[in-house]
Amino acid sequence: MTIQVERLSKKFRIDQVLNSLSFKLEAGEKMSIVGPSGSGKTTLLRILAGLEIPDQGTILLEEKDVTRLSARQRNIGLVFQQPLLFPHMTVAENIAYGAHMNGKKTESTVKDLLAAINLTEAAAQFPAELSGGQQQRVALARALAIEPEILLLDEPFSSLDPNLRQDMRYWVRDLLDKRGITSIFVTHDREEAMLMGDKIGVFHEGTFQQFATAEEIKLNPRNPFIVEFFDHHML
Ligand code: ADP
């Protein structure tokens, strides 16, 4: 599923959080959005997901204008910084909840996803019995259970300890590759952005200062902000 964003703008009082932002992703492409804290990354994801209304601009999924559709009608998967699982439901039930929302056959979907996140054994356990990393894997499985056209991930590893975070990066990237899911991954971590995205949107002052592969950014940083932002991380 392709996603195309055209001249998206959003203002909170005098704060122009998004300023005519445009980009396009091909089907199966993975993108990272990296930028300073408070620059508007979460706001952009919330607008894409249909949780916030833009002042201007359009969002096209596979050429279809979804700008006025509700979150549910867009069929976009979301993974947040905190897993936000239902505490009274087992792991399997949490995942089934996602599948139900989409009227999918639950049993085979849940089985498949439990295997994909390596938690088949934990199917009957409750979220509180799992580690933070395991909980985040369940949250990912629940988001995938709706068979989303696009998966949005908002700093999903930032509450995990550094070792686990590293493992999760490779693991999630591999899972998204295997499933060919178009995804947008928000982070403030430059290394994580480079690892999780085929393309990186460097976000500042309401727009992308550069939208390119890590290689292109490295070879040809577009402006002083990019040079300073990445500094010794890659340039
Ligand atoms: P980031 O994810 O890059 O840290 P956010 O999208 O969370 O940035 O926030 C961008 C700016 O928009 C911040 O200044 C924040 O205070 C402001 N903002 C976000 N949501 C709202 C809201 N609902 N009402 C008013 N201001 C908001």
Ligand 1 centre to CA of 11 (Å) is 10
pLDDT digits 0-9 by tens, 77-110: 999 988 889 999 999 999 998 777 666 678 888 9
Nearest CA to ligand 1 atom 20: 43
Nearest CA to ligand 1 atom 23: 12
The residue behind tokens 């709706």 is: 146
- On the question of pLDDT at 71 being above 80, the answer is yes
Complex confidence, ipTM: 0.96
Ligand 1 atom closest to the Cα of residue 155 is: 2
- For the full predicted model, state whether its pTM sits above 0.90: yes
- Amino acid (1-letter code) at residue 178: K
Let me know: does 93 contact 86? Beta carbons within 8 Å.
yes
Strand 56-61 versus strand 3-12 pairing type: antiparallel
Report the distance separating Cα 29 and Cα 220, nearest Å. Answer: 22
209 lines ligand 1 (CB under 6 A): no
Q: Distances from the Cα of 155 to the Cαs of 20, 120, 124, in angstroms? A: 23, 25, 27
**DSSP 3-state assignment of 65?**
strand
Tokens for 76, please give them: 């976009």
- On the question of pLDDT at 161 being above 90, the answer is no
**DSSP 3-state assignment of 187?**
strand
Neighbouring residues of 164: CB distance < 8 A, sequence distance ≥ 6: 131, 132, 133, 157
pLDDT digits 0-9 by tens, 214-233: 999 999 999 999 999 988 66
Neighbouring residues of 117: CB distance < 8 A, sequence distance ≥ 6: 137, 138, 140, 141, 175
The CA-based angle 128-189-24, given to 5 degrees, is 100
Ligand 1 atom closest to the Cα of residue 35 is: 3
Q: What is the pLDDT of residue 106?
A: 82
Report the distance separating Cα 71 and Cα 186, nearest Å. Answer: 19
Nearest CA to ligand 1 atom 15: 38
136 lines ligand 1 (CB under 6 A): no
The residue behind tokens 């910084």 is: 81
